[in-house]
Structure 1
Amino acid sequence: MTKTKSIILNHTAEQLINKLETKKATVGVVGLGYVGLPLAVEKAKAGFTVIGFDVQEEKVRMVNEGNNYIGDVVQEDLESLVFSEKLKATADYTFIRDVDAVAICVPTPLDIYKQPNMEYVKGSVEAISKYMTAGTLIVLESTTYPGTTEELIKPILEKSGLIVGEDIFIAYSPERIDPGNKDFNTKNTPKVVGGVTGICTKVAAAMYRAVLDGDVHEVSSPAVAEMEKLLENTFRNINIGLANEMAILCNKMGIDVWEVIDAAATKPYGFMAFYPGPGLGGHCIPIDPWYLTWKAREYNYHTKLIETAGEINDSMPDFVIQRCSEILNEQKKAMNGSKVLVLGVAYKKDIDDYRESPVLPILERLTKYGADWEVSDPHVEEFKLEGEMVETVMLTEEKLEEADLVVIATNHSEFDYELIKSTAKAILDTRNSYDNAYEKSVYYKL
């Protein structure tokens, strides 16, 4: 489905689309993190010559040496592309002169007031504007609030004197990477594209069709594409918030919330299963809805449902600590001085990303209440907590025997759940790791 079927392309757009379709274009990716590096690799695998840009010299060095640091990138793929000169990295933005299309994949964090910090995007666009030439496509992929592309990016790029839709082409296409997903990745996940003009949309769509196997869905504006990404993650945020609230209520009522959800999921229509947990993590679901909340204030609208869901999800680490205290109390032990072994610090199973992980505030609270804790995570060797680096430990029988309480915070596949079950004195499972199949007096769920 497309809104731009009758668009008549100008000569510059036709030339660029031809370069993209024939893989003769050189493409750039700004930001070589969890989104940018997989995208750069897929573009190079598709046959493009790719230049990756990043201000972190360490990332640039690792890419140029063919050393991978992102879980969703195959080491052999990166190595092959670098050594065949299909992919290189640089911190020098003058190389923007050499690219025909560039995707911006830089962080868009929130500040302490839960307001968007657009400095990374703004800085990247300003750097691009200094060196871009006529016939360049610029696409923002970073998650942001509706209006960013047209209100922030377009005015900066127009200062060059190049005309949007004629000389340069600007679009927004949200990243949809789900780290650790075995079925959907950068290559096969459908793409949404919205350009500042209809021609911009066509040019951007041509680039993604030349790279991806997934469908490319064209929308009428960047704002639509920006809003749909926020809808995706706000939908998940709110439904997870509902599942978490149900978990709290079911705990008070002595009902197993996972059994309730499994029963509800037997309905073949009108229900989609979401599950509770220790809180939300990652750079999308716990953050993206706040972009919408912030932007809504401009229109004198208060996003009550979104904010309530956020408050529920943000409160889950406190609920986990409450459950820890209750379980230790049943064992006639106080939180202060108890040994707590936390399994997992990554925000979801089988990945190494602990950004915004709900395990971090849980650990902060364990420290506050005097617990003696350690963390085991097969994917994370060390992590930063309150400004200090903390090393994880190996999961061993000895560590399990020493612990007064084992908290399964992230249900990594590598954990030996049979060993945990047979050895731990008490278990708090925040992820239903045993699929309702474990009945034991020392086993507890949220």
Structure 2
Amino acid sequence: MEDVRIGSFDLDAVGAYPTTLPSPRMPSSGFSKSLNPIYTDHDTTTTTTATTETDSSPSAAAASHDEGAHAATASAARDCPPPPPAPAPVPARRHTGGDGRWEAIRAAEPPLSLGHFRLLRCLGYGDIGSVYLVELRGGRGELFAMKVMDKGSLAGRNKLARAETEREILGLLDHPFLPTLYSHFQTDKFCCLLMEYCCGGNLHSLRQRQPSKRLTEDAARFYACEVLLALEYLHMLGVVYRDLKPENVLVREEGHIMLSDFDLSLRCSVSPALVRSPSGRISAGGLAHGCMLPRILPGKKKNKGDNKAKLDDDETVTSVGCKKPSSLEFTAEPTSARSMSFVGTHEYLAPEIIRGDGHGSAVDWWTFGIFLYELLHGATPFKGSGNRATLFNVVAQPLRFPDAPAVSAPRPGISSVDCWRRSRTTGSRPGAAPRR
């Protein structure tokens, strides 16, 4: 049984990140502009295009056309160089398209080693390794986050498999809110992972700098949405994250998030499927796990006098042509995953982990609720005077929401507590109705 991860490394204590975050500037390949409500962009950059003034009167245009058209054509054919050859097609990149760090790594003299990098500073310490900010020697100032793991220490603690699992997971990822693994290599003593560097700190530090040490509802909603998308993507790959907390949610320069630290993650099998949604299931317009599908099968002939014709088992068309949404939904949640490991951080542990009942992907949705609660209220809901008291509260104490600060009311017909309870019993994310 593995040990519980306790506490976190305080990045601000060693000056790993700036104390203030820059105004968002999105890369050309990313979002057009940050939507992060934490930031406001007061700088306005005006791009001026130089133009040449010409006489646009009809007489001048006609004269120009009559007297100089043939001469201009002949001169252009004689003086202009041949057009340059078409550029070679650019190979497809990952979500960071146009990222020069890929080319810089490829241009480095193989095989890649620690000697190719200049160590700048330590960014943090994890359970199985340390993360450093490094610069590629001979490059153009490309920065990377390098996780360095001591192979002897890993072997002595029986954690070589965990390090290998983290490398495999990072190699699968291609998502705007998850890290990019540029390369990995080994020396006689170390295993090294070369990853994307986030200069904006983490959500824990950002929350600590806000008034009352909590985020506004708009900001919390923004971060929660991006984390939700990242978790769903991981689950579709068969990855249970198991370590969501503000310290592990990094902030990029442009204001968007990146999940980090996958050394506690669990890889499992997942079987994507189309399932029939029972009546009363919350639609995809809310937080239900699913999506509406277009009609694929041809419809049956409409009988005379019928107000509606049956198209198939899951969709109907009314007499005025309005389609009711399909009741099929796509699911890719690794609900069959089971682990007996005792891993996580005390304040975020799900009850089934504490009780030793075995757990699956539902623990990520429990932790997602704790994460959102902490962003809104500045503290986790079950924190006790010590670790034992915290674990007891998670298992035995009911969830209570404080009266202040006030947050938006839940959607009609379902309460926040209902969402929380359903996520615990169905293995789906908060907001989904129980499966029948």
TM over 0.5: no
TM score, norm. by length of structure 1: 0.25
Q: More relative contact order in 1 or in 2 (CA 8 Å, sep 6+)?
A: 2
TM score, norm. by length of structure 2: 0.26
